[in-house]
Structure 1
Amino acid sequence: MTAAVTADVTDRRPMEGMRVLDLTSNVAGPLACQVLVDLGAEVVKIEPPTGEAGRNIRSTIPGQEDLRPYFLPHHRGKKSVVLDLHDDGDVTRLLALADTADVFVQGFRPGVLDRLGLGADVLRRRNPRLVHASLSAFSGDGDQHLRPGIDALIQAESGLLTGLTRADGAPLLPAPTVVDACSGHVLAQAILAALLARERHGQGDAVEVALYDVAVSMQAPHITRQLHTVPEHAHLTETGRSSMAVAPSGPFRAADGWLMLFAYVPKHWNLLTEVLGRPDLRADPRFADQLERARHPVELAATLETALAAHTVAEWVELLTAAGVMASPVRGWSSVIGSAAFAEAELAVTVEAGGRTELAVRTPARYRGFTPGGVTPTPLLGEHTDDVLGAVRT
């Protein structure tokens, strides 16, 4: 089931009438600008003659070679303008376009746009109300800020791969670009905060978001624990969640596969023991409270899995959910898009225009006061160059 994105005649999109220039690529920056599209902004995608990097990443599945899975979900409703920033005339055109913008979002390596005369100071002198947003791999004023980086590298550098290893010890890299996704939403939040400040105080601002900073903040409880742990106990991080008092938490075997179960909160633990028919476990000193359960993970898992062997994963999910305990099957992507949760959330959106139809995943926020923008398909490369540049072309 898909949800059709349609126009709303009672539109109250909060960024209606605002122009955003999107000079980012891949996932994080384009996702941030897709959020702004949904809020009503006119987002102009500035691309090199070869197209942005994400446009050129294709699916390798037979029959899907023309599908661009990194580009498609993050460019609904945008306009594409081709400018070659190695060409002085196109740099001049971009300067003139920035004079008309409310937001300028860029993801170039630090210093690149400054050398082209397109740095934040230059743009904001010309347009004091401009919000200039920069996305980088690392932050700070030292050499680290100059390092290149993408999601996978940042996951490794930031510790996000802690506990994720193959049987031979090699790091296991998750398929989703989780740092990019989180960074995109943080960047959108920072831009909106700067726009709110502009409305209150009259001037724009320069904001910066770094993938590394976001990745560390995603792990704040674990990094905080490590800040309070002497170095010789650093091995505590190797087991990830199990070094926290959150047991039972994670995957457990049921009759036909793995059940994802979370019942570490005392109330949920009590409910779990009732559903399992094992209220006696509450009196077992090894499982008497949250801390003791975490100190006896092997015994706890063995005890739970003995009881869970009585039913299938689907049966346990139904029983536990009805009782108020958090439980889920471990789904693959093909199962996700057919699930009740996916359908009821209407996460798949269909957009149509000019004989083109595209199916993508919507941004997560939902609004009662207006219908999100992004109601047209992703733009063809350079599709809107002439229309947008207009009089600024020389």
Structure 2
Amino acid sequence: MLSGIRVISFTHFLQGPSASQFLADLGAEVIKVEPPTGAFERSWSGPDAYLDGTSVFFLLGNRNQQSFSIDLKAPGARRVLTDLLASADVLIESFRPGAMDRLGLGYNDVAAINPRLIYCSLSGYGSDGPYVDRPGQDVLLQAVSGLAAATGRGGVSPTPVGASIVDQHGATLGALGILAALHGRERTGRGMKVESNLLNAALDLQIEPFAYYLNGFRGERSESGVSSRFYKAPYGVFPTADGFVCLSLNSLATLEKLFGDPWFGGVSETDSYARREEVNRRIVGHLREIPTAEWFARCEAVKVWYAPVNGYEEVVVDPQVLHNESILAFEHPEAGHVEVLAHPITYDGRRPGIRSVPQALGASTRSVLGSLSYTEAEIDELVAEGVILDGAH
């Protein structure tokens, strides 16, 4: 769908590479610009997860992209970058605010080279403001945005979510902004600057509870089985005799049927939020009596909204996950067999696949320059001068 769109990606960590990968999955030609030492994610992986020396963190966010390695500070780099940007439709960058300007690659500099370019900046807090120099990292944004304080049971410490959800949502918003700007360019013929940041992404993830707060509702985290400050019981994860079950948004009449307990009928629906701790304690008292599998059968029988509480070992064999083909496997020349999450959207019932595995550093430097009409002799000279790294040779 994005065939013919050239994207120049100055990105590292997760927010930027993942946004670039969304576009690459959709067919855009994404050229990942890396220093001769490689992007950060090549040499870092959360739990030191490497497959034969290759970072899993790198493998999960850099498929379908070309690695172009250049020393941005080398004297001969300017001409190469000018030619590259003149050929592009999109530039996406995730450096700290001001870094691209210092390299002569800020929006005004690049727009002068290519007025049709969509320029997307992804940052922690935005391109200016009192937090502009703060480090922007997922768990820090979960903390500052209120997300960690809203998560977990009452009486325990604020609880960060168990995944880099802010980074990934920031990537999604960045890709959305780029697509909107490309659509707008079809009408105006002009490029524009698009900005997304992790703070906005973290707040956007809380669109519902934050709106309740802004409009006067002050909820507290539940001390029992409710994971949210803003919902009636039952809403959350509850223990059974041998495990856990998740219950959500069931009426008290439904709970009366499930448990065969007339106590629930004595609580009015209008009081179910104020009395949610009583309701939760009553639910736990019943659930602890019977094993999880039996509760699943009973929930099905009375149409209770429920779900198993899966660990990853259950998720990877979940029949719906398998049916949806949510896991993408490929063979990598260094890492061997790799499995990552696939593109999350289907188009005419199909997910975009993998056209190229995450590349070795500088693997496409020579071919990209060839597309800009550089001769082999000119490319060899740039390699000899240390301006570029030719990882294909």
Bin for the TM-score computed over the shorter chain? 0.7 to 0.9
Residues 1-394 of structure 1 aligned to structure 2 (within 5 Å): 14-58=1-45, 60=47, 64=51, 66-139=53-126, 141-164=128-151, 171-229=158-216, 236-237=219-220, 239=222, 242-264=228-250, 266=251, 269-278=252-261, 280-281=262-263, 283-284=265-266, 286=267, 288-289=268-269, 291-321=270-300, 323-352=302-331, 357-368=337-348, 372-390=352-370, 391-392=373-374, 393=379
The alpha-carbon distance between structure 1 residues 163 and 345, as it changes in their structure 2 partners (threshold 3 A), is same
Measure, in 2, the Cα distance between the counterparts of 1:63 and 1:123: 37
CA contact (8 A) 2:330 2:339 kept: yes
CA contact (8 A) 1:190 1:207 kept: yes
Write the deviation string for residues 181-220 of structure 1: whole angstroms up to 9, x where unpaired. Answer: 1111111111111111111222221100010011012112
- Matched with 2:388 is none
| Further displaced range: 66-75 or 181-190 | 66-75
CA contact (8 A) 2:49 2:55 kept: no
Amino acid at match of 1:385: T
Give the root-mean-square deviation of aligned CA atoms: 2.7
Q: CA deviation at 1:314?
A: 2.8
CA contact (8 A) 1:29 1:106 kept: yes
Q: Which runs of 5+ in 2 are unaligned?
A: 383-393
CA contact (8 A) 2:241 2:292 kept: yes
Amino acid at match of 2:305: M
Q: CA deviation at 1:135?
A: 0.1
CA contact (8 A) 2:151 2:228 kept: no
CA contact (8 A) 2:89 2:116 kept: yes
Write the deviation string for residues 245-266 of structure 1: whole angstroms up to 9, x where unpaired. Answer: 33210011212122111124x4
The alpha-carbon distance between structure 1 residues 68 and 322, as it changes in their structure 2 partners (threshold 3 A), is farther
Measure, in 2, the Cα distance between the counterparts of 1:252 and 1:166: 12
The alpha-carbon distance between structure 1 residues 283 and 64, as it changes in their structure 2 partners (threshold 3 A), is same
Q: Which runs of 5+ in 1 are unaligned?
A: 1-13
- Partner of 2:18: helix, strand, or coil? helix
Measure, in 2, the Cα distance between the counterparts of 1:329 and 1:301: 18
Structure showing the higher helix proportion among its residues: 1
Q: CA deviation at 1:69?
A: 2.5
Measure, in 1, the Cα distance between the counterparts of 2:192 and 2:343: 25
CA contact (8 A) 1:39 1:373 kept: no
Measure, in 2, the Cα distance between the counterparts of 1:91 and 1:153: 35
Q: CA deviation at 1:21?
A: 1.0
TM-score normalized by the length of structure 1: 0.85
| Further displaced range: 44-53 or 169-178 | 169-178
Q: Which has the higher contact order (CA 8 A, sep 6+)?
A: 1
CA contact (8 A) 2:154 2:221 kept: no
Amino acid at match of 1:250: G
Q: CA deviation at 1:54?
A: 1.4
Identity %: 32
Measure, in 1, the Cα distance between the counterparts of 2:40 and 2:352: 26
Measure, in 2, the Cα distance between the counterparts of 1:324 and 1:206: 49
Write the deviation string for residues 338-363 of structure 1: whole angstroms up to 9, x where unpaired. Answer: 22232122111123476965322112
Aligned residues: 370
Amino acid at match of 1:283: G
